[in-house]
Amino acid sequence: MASRRDFFRGATAITAAAAATSVARAALAALPDPVIQGDPGTMPPLAPPSGRPYRPVVTLNGWTLPWRMNQGVKEFHLVAEPVVREMAPGFKAHLWGYNGQSPGPTIEVVEGDRVRIFVTNRLPEHTSIHWHGQRLPNGMDGVTGLTQPGIAPGKTFVYEFVARRPGTFMYHPHADEMTQMAMGMMGFWVTHPKGRHPLIDEVDRDFVFLLNAYDIDPGSYTPKIMTMLDFNLWSWNSRVFPGIDPLVVRKNDKVRIRVGNLTMTNHPIHLHGHEFVVTGTDGGPTPKASRWPEVTADIAVGQMRQVEFVADEEGDWAFHCHKSHHTMNAMGHDVPTMIGVDHRGLAKKITRLIPDYMVMGERGMADMAEMEMPLPDNTVPMMTGAGPFGSVEMGGMFSVLKVRADQKPGDYTDPGWYRHPPGTVATEWAGPLADATPARSAGGQSMPLATKPAPSIEVQVRKPGAHGGHDDH
């Protein structure tokens, strides 16, 4: 049963206005005021002001939704609405989300909590929320048409169930999903164990984020919802590098990272400098005997993975999707490979007609990160991110795990770039060069070929039907 004190503490967290009102029965019967968050930064973990204690998670470039306790029930209020999401500094997208952001706020509860979630629809079409991975009464599962009518624009629905099993979950609409997920409607859910759990370790830092993807033409603001695979923005919590905050930890912290995939392709998420184990999926904690060390975990469509490791190596460790096209921002794929093609003469002629014309990729694409190609308003460079040694040449699903010995417990502020101990950074060889290494390859500078001449191969292609069927053998 909730005490008066519990309610007050919860209400204080929700809004100052609510705290100023009396704890009248009428107030408890009303909807909790929705909390709206406009800041795209990573909010500090929300220590539970009421209910059972737990160690809260940190949502990358996101936040946790405050609640109020009402007669022992944790009450949340989600508002589905159009939002403006800053996906990276200088680049804003017009998305749909919850409570001012896409993704919506993370919901954190404790195993055994009775949870009541009010969902108000401020979208131009109906919606619903499916609580991905939860054990709940069938009628609370949020599938429009199957388990409930859609929530019409302007209406509020109530979901109520007990968070029966601890773990890593997410929520998203189950109504016009193709549109609503392509527009950014999704959120994270963590159910903490109610006590010590044999398969759930206590950790010092617990990060969560969702993988999502958008197709937004450079210079425009709204995702193209018909795109199925050829997205141009691969994001974590609707942010793209360099807009994704680093994961800051103290050396020797035990770290958990929980990731859910709501895109339409898989993402092999790769961590540098450490090995982790997969300790859980959206089905719950994994048995200990099933855990083995890895440095990349593939997260398939609709899946969630939680990985754990001890951050015992200091430094700035890259952490990213291993599909190289997913660490790029707004790019086209219909570009021919230009490596080894010299277009100097051609470029000069074209520049006479089109002054801004640039040649792409004759020495690879790294030049793209440095070049001052004029970009349309409201877009992000394809490869960017100023690092301590130059451009990081990344975009999309990329961030940095920053491990520092002097980071204070519970401090998530960015410590800046790692200061490498002297003699521990790869540097240019300053001694004499070995004789003629570059010149021996037959391809010269840009296209090495085999040293032996290739055997000549003749390829014959015959069109089927040209001889009335199969070839003679």
Q: State the residues that interact with Cu ion by CB under 5 A.
A: 267, 321, 323, 326
CB of 74 to Cu ion, least distance (A): 34
Report the alpha-carbon distance of residue 55 to residue 249 in Å, rounded. 15
CB of 219 to Cu ion, least distance (A): 24
CB of 326 to Cu ion, least distance (A): 3
Q: Which residue's CB is nearer to Cu ion, number 116 or number 267?
A: 267
Nearest to 311 by CA among 207, 191, 198, 419: 207
Q: Are 129 and 175 in contact (CB under 8 A)?
A: no
**DSSP for 391-458?**
EEEE-BSEEEEEEETTPPTT--S---S--PPTT-S-----SPPPTTTGGGSTTTTT----SSPPPP--
CB of 196 to Cu ion, least distance (A): 35
CB of 194 to Cu ion, least distance (A): 35
Residues 6+ positions from 447 with CB-CB distance below 8 Å: 339, 340
Q: Which residue's CB is nearer to Cu ion, number 55 or number 323?
A: 323
Q: Which residue's CB is nearer to Cu ion, number 144 or number 232?
A: 232
Containing 6, the helix (H) or strand (E) segment is helix 4-14
Tell me which residue has tokens 């417990």: 409
Q: Which residue's CB is nearer to Cu ion, number 224 or number 323?
A: 323
Q: Which residue's CB is nearer to Cu ion, number 13 or number 233?
A: 233
Report the alpha-carbon distance of residue 80 to residue 101 in Å, rounded. 10
Residues 6+ positions from 287 with CB-CB distance below 8 Å: 199
CB of 353 to Cu ion, least distance (A): 38
Q: Which residue's CB is nearer to Cu ion, number 130 or number 326?
A: 326
Q: What is the DSSP letter of 270?
A: E
Q: Report the number of secondary-structure helices (H) and strands (E) in the chain.
A: 6, 23
